[in-house]
Amino acid sequence: MELIFLGTSAGVPTRSRNVTAILLDLQHPTRGGLWLFDCGEGTQHQLLRTAWHPGKLDKIFITHLHGDHLFGLPGLLCSRSMAGNANPLTIYGPAGIAEFVETTLRLSGSWTDYPLEVVEITEGLVFDDGDHKVIARPLNHPVECYGYRIEEHDKPGALDAAALIADGVKPGPLFQRLKQGETVTLEDGRVINGHAYLAAPQPGKKLAIFGDTAPCPSAFLLAQDVDVMVHEATLEAAMEEKANSRGHSSTRQAAQLAREANVGKLLVTHVSSRYDARGCESLLAECRSVFPECELAEDFAQVSV
């Protein structure tokens, strides 16, 4: 999987950072899969500066209905339709997202020529397609807000073909069934259990993408043991009280969560417009003093998961 940051600023855009939007390219060998998390104003403009096409999007996950996470959605939906794209799209988000989409399209005389489904979520499993599942957890923000945990299902271990051949099993269609863990009966009457010839399963990747939040208990459940956590760090540690009062986290709090939840790597984003390049360096240093495996995301940064 690969993350592509399209916007990393909090609240308003700056000269170098647009407001929040993150692409997740699942890079599935057959299905592909391109997901968008949040869609701040100007997201479609940011997409034009990348190698990814909005027509390839099949899912959009909105964390909450504040404008810096949402106001780019109507334009993206309409442009996708005007380009003649017929691929279906599903939007997930908190209560109110369906009304927002319906109202903006209706009042602007707009429509979509592709199948569009809008799903209003609650806490728990959002969907599971057999390859990936997404779980939503509520966060601590002035409006209803969620974080998303994306889990890739474990992959079956490699089939020990050499051992099968040594046991007199001829290569062929049976190998595929045995790789799926099936039990098969050979021509000579022997019964072979595929699990006996499989290596240990390969653990799937785990990723957590947070919406805006002050520290809260469900944050740990989202972040526990993930390979990569994307979390806001709106303000420096010295302004922690101000950050929390507005439903945001400081650098120190994001890094503490990463450490306590046994996260592999922390990517901090949603940086206040008060910070210039030197200020951002200080924010990153604060995070790394608590959790060294940390990067501060820039617009158009690409990170493998």
Both tokens assigned to 99: 């009304």
Give the rounded distance of the alpha carbon of 219 from its chain centre: 15
Catalogue the E-assigned strands of the chain.
Answer: 2-7, 9-10, 21-28, 32-37, 57-61, 89-93, 116-120, 124-128, 132-138, 146-152, 183-185, 191-193, 206-209, 228-232, 265-269, 271-272, 294-296, 302-304
CB 118 within 8 A of CB 100: no
Options 25, 38, 68, 299, the catalytic residue: 68
Report the C-alpha gap between 171 and 165 in whole angstroms: 7
d(CA 106, CA 290): 48
Extract the tokens encoding 78.
Answer: 């309409």
Task: Based on the residue annotation, tell me whether 225 is a catalytic residue of this protein.
Answer: no
Question: Residues near 80 by Cβ (< 8 Å), separated by ≥ 6?
Answer: 54, 55, 57, 89, 112, 114
Assigned token pair, 197: 């010839």
C-alpha to C-alpha distance for 34 and 208, rounded to whole angstroms:
16
Backbone φ and ψ of 192, nearest 5°: -115, 125
Q: Cite the active site residues.
A: 68
